[in-house]
Amino acid sequence: MAQQERKHGSGTVSPGDTTERVGMQVIRERGGDPEEIRETLIDAIGAEFSTYYYYTNLRTHLAGNEDYKEITEDARLEDRAHFELVMPRVYELDGKLPPDIHDFMARAGCPHAELPDDPTAENVLEVLLEAERCAIRTWSEVCDMTRECDPRTYDMAQRILQEEMDHEAWFIELLSMERDGEVNPAGHFVRGEPGDAPLSTNNRFNESA
Ligand SMILES: [Fe+2]
Ligand SMILES: [Fe+2]
């Protein structure tokens, strides 16, 4: 018996063609540019990966400020979660990570969060705060690019953006007190587990936990 025609049973990609992706065509049909989105994502997760590395060093230099260390650890692990969440999307959009990590780091969309020459808690917190602000600008740009055309990337970006806004508020609170003796609350206490990433977790890193 002949198959009935169905509304979405066929489209512009030929059956069995693995050189084209319907997941990219539908973005183009809605006015988006999947290649531009993909390249912006690589720059954005380059910054997440860089931040994960550099926050390791910043966190260790907060020794003695155990509350600062704990919050920096949450932000550090959540940036790793952001990299992990978006990385597969690069491949879905027919891209790949740069084969050479130097190339990956060179195109990261934010400055490296380097340890300041004088690594006082105040100076370290300033670096952390500015890194979070760069992340907010980055994921806001991705939201703008995808809001009308790419719900999958938009969903990832808006979830990450919410966590970056948490992070900015955390470091405003800590820096305000450390530098200015001012109470400037984030309204936050702690994540459930270090680096909980309540909105952006892709796969849990320690499944046995
Ligand atoms: Fe992040
Ligand atoms: Fe962050």
Render pLDDT for 141-199 as a digit per residue (tens, 0 to 9).
Answer: 999 999 999 999 999 999 999 999 999 999 999 999 999 999 999 988 778 788 788 88
* Residue 149 Cα to ligand 2 middle (Å): 25
Shortest-distance ligand to the CA of residue 142: 1
Predicted confidence at residue 193, as pLDDT, reads 80
pLDDT above 70: residue 15: yes
| CA–CA distance, 170 with 132 (Å, rounded to integer) | 10
- 5 Cα–ligand 2 center, Å: 48
* Alpha-carbon gap, residue 22 to 12, rounded angstroms: 8
pLDDT, averaged across the chain: 94
- DSSP per-residue codes, 46-97: HHHHHHHHHHHHHHHTTTT-HHHHHHHHHHHHHHHHHHHHHHHHHHHTT---
Distance (Å, whole) CA 76 – CA 191:
13
Q: How far is the CA of 199 from the centre of ligand 1 (A)?
A: 12
Q: What is the pLDDT of residue 206?
A: 55
Q: In the chain, what are the domains?
A: 34-180 (1.20.1260.10)
Which residue pairs from 49-52 have beta carbons closer than 8 angstroms and sit at least 24 positions apart in sequence?
Answer: 49/79, 49/80, 49/83, 49/104, 49/105, 49/108, 50/105, 50/108, 50/110, 50/112, 50/113, 51/76, 51/79, 51/110, 51/113, 51/131, 51/135, 52/76, 52/77, 52/79, 52/80, 52/83
Neighbours of ion ligand 1 (CB under 5 A): 48, 79, 82, 135
190 or 38, which is more confident: 38
Tokens 């550099």 locate to 54
At 58-104, the pLDDT tens digits run: 999 999 999 999 999 999 999 999 999 999 999 999 999 999 999 99
* Spatial separation of the C-alpha atoms in residues 32 and 40, rounded to whole Å: 13
